[in-house]
């Protein structure tokens, strides 16, 4: 079975501080990992996927297969980063199905 865990339901930091949103997963195969973001009153949108290894809006995430983690990091948080962040996993055999974590609400204070 597969599972995605985001241990922090709420996370608050001050503007300019580093931020790390944790994501751990369990899956015996080779998963594809994603971070989705939902800003207030907007639809869910893709932020990062591990296979692209891009940095989007200053965020990066590295897949650590040994620790089964895919933590999202940003060195200097901005107020506009305040949003709900979801970590998601996809198995290679089920392309249209994502397994989501419960989400972390990030608040960046001025």
Whole-number CA gyration radius for the chain: 13
CB 23 within 8 A of CB 70: yes
**Alpha-carbon distance 23 to 7, whole Å?**
7
- Asked if 43 interacts with other proteins (CB under 8 A), we say yes
The distance of closest approach from Cβ of residue 44 to other proteins in the complex, given in angstroms and rounded to an integer, is: 4
CA end-to-end span of the chain: 41
Segment contacting other proteins by CB under 8 A, of 21-29, 63-71, 74-82, 93-101: 93-101
- Asked if 29 interacts with other proteins (CB under 8 A), we say no
Considering beta carbons, is residue 26 or 94 the nearer one to other proteins?
94
Per CB under 8 A, residues contacting other proteins are 32, 36, 43-46, 49, 86, 90, 94-103
């Amino acid at each position: 079975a597969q599972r995605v865990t985001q241990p922090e339901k709420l996370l608050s930091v001050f503007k300019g501080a580093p931020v790390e949103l944790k994501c751990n997963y369990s899956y015996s195969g080779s998963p594809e990992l994603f971070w989705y973001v939902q800003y207030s009153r907007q639809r869910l949108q893709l932020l990062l996927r591990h296979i692209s290894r891009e940095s989007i809006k200053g965020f990066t995430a590295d897949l650590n297969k040994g620790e089964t983690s895919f933590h999202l990091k940003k060195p200097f948080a901005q107020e506009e980063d305040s949003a709900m962040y979801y970590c998601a996993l996809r198995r290679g055999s089920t392309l249209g199905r994502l397994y989501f974590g419960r989400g972390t609400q990030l608040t960046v204070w001025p």
